Amino acid sequence: MNDAYDVVRGDVSIRDGRIAAIAPSISGRHDSVVDARDGYVLPGFVQTHVHLCQTLFRGYADDLPLLDWLRKRIWLMEAAHTPSSLRAAARLAIVELLSSGTTSVLTMETVHDTDVVFEAAAEIGIRATIGKCMMDAASGVVPTRLQETSRASLDESRALHQRWDGAADGRLRAAFAPRFAVSCSRDLLEAVASVSGETRTIVHTHASESMAEIALVLEISGGLSNIEYLAALRLASPRLCVAHCVWVDDREQALLAEHDVKVTHCPSSNLKLGSGIAPVVELQQKGVTVALGADGAACNNRLDMFEEMRLAALLQAVRQIPGALTARQALTMATRNGAKALGLEIPPSLLAIADEVIE
């Protein structure tokens, strides 16, 4: 996955958890040898929108549009989580992700007990940026256990950042994760924008996923679209990772590009919930970094990045023409774009070294 997309036939030597050499033939003693002849060795996939906490809800919330899916199923189940069930959900999700090639994730958890998700990620070995779900404006709509004040939400998120950001030799990081504008007050979103700027921390949220959600945001914001509202609250920045962006017009796409906001395309989730098909080609043409995510198992039923790459390309073929989003572009979304969204991209100097090794 260098700039030239070179395909090299040969061996890969890994020592002390690092790629030590790539060459036509590598000798020398190794603890183990994997015969991957006629297969592909790829960088680990980077999923920039998942919910590890929802893995135990797989298949429980089918055949519902987004807001009903949340109100009638997901919020009830997230509220019912105990630390034990949350740990089990995270462990199961991480094993599924790793076994299908995903090695890094950006995940939004539920409102409570997020420490156990960090603990599971630390134990199993995935690279994860984890945020406690923030919801302070959904009283009367969500179960009592998911209701919180603005101050409590922000204080707990900052405490998690202090406890976990940079843990496991830098493999774990903390994010601020306001769920979406519908369930967060203006005050909370403005506070998140401020603390994110102070700490240079990723903000992870949802926006413009369904038409019903957009109607609610227009009412809440006094007539602003989702992206316009986030920009007005100073949340739009290179640190903002926004899931979905199915319904973003030219003006919103330009705002995303102007502020270098990262967008996560979740094709399976968008299809299952009937939300629509995101304008991925147009976003990329405007210079927006678009990555991929499976979303939660409850709105996908699987966490397989190969499926997301496949659907991403096929859906743009339907929207435009075959080849509008190529296989190479889909693979880039699943690797380099995801890394860029999380601030994990390889510096140009190291890419140059890699090119020299390949040559």
Asked if residue 309 is part of any domain, the answer here is yes
Asked if residue 6 is part of any domain, the answer here is no
- Whether residue 33 sits in one domain with residue 120: no
Asked if residue 101 is part of any domain, the answer here is yes
Distance CA 48, CA 225 (A): 23
Residue 32 in 3-state DSSP? coil
CATH of the domain at 328: 3.20.20.140
Distance CA 191, CA 195 (A): 6
Residue 12 in 3-state DSSP? strand
Asked if residue 337 is part of any domain, the answer here is yes
- Whether residue 226 sits in one domain with residue 101: yes
- Whether residue 143 sits in one domain with residue 267: yes
pTM: 0.94
Distance CA 266, CA 245 (A): 9
- Whether residue 267 sits in one domain with residue 326: yes
Structural tokens at position 7: 């395909």
At 25, give phi and psi (nearest 5°): -150, 130
Distance CA 224, CA 158 (A): 29
- Whether residue 33 sits in one domain with residue 57: no
Tens-level pLDDT at each residue, the chain (359 residues): 888 888 889 999 999 988 899 889 998 899 999 999 989 899 999 999 999 999 999 999 999 999 999 999 999 999 999 999 999 999 999 999 999 999 999 999 999 999 999 999 999 999 999 999 999 997 778 999 999 999 999 999 999 999 999 999 999 999 999 999 999 999 999 999 999 999 999 999 999 999 999 999 999 999 999 999 999 999 999 999 999 999 999 999 999 999 999 999 999 999 999 999 999 999 999 999 999 999 999 999 999 999 999 999 999 999 999 999 999 999 999 999 999 999 998 766 666 666 665 55
Asked if residue 1 is part of any domain, the answer here is no
Give ∠ CA 124-174-217 in degrees, rounded to 5: 120
Asked if residue 251 is part of any domain, the answer here is yes
Is the separation of the CB atoms in 295 and 51 below 8 Å?
Answer: yes
Q: How many domains does the chain have?
A: 2
- Whether residue 281 sits in one domain with residue 342: yes
Asked if residue 5 is part of any domain, the answer here is no
- Whether residue 230 sits in one domain with residue 86: yes
Q: Which residues contact 299 (CB under 8 A, 6 or more apart)?
A: 54, 61, 69, 268, 269, 272, 273
- Whether residue 293 sits in one domain with residue 342: yes
pLDDT at 357: 57
- Whether residue 133 sits in one domain with residue 20: no
- Whether residue 100 sits in one domain with residue 168: yes
Structural domain of 34: 11-39+350-358
- Whether residue 260 sits in one domain with residue 169: yes
Strands 240-244, 203-207: pairing kind = parallel
- Whether residue 55 sits in one domain with residue 35: no
Asked if residue 51 is part of any domain, the answer here is yes
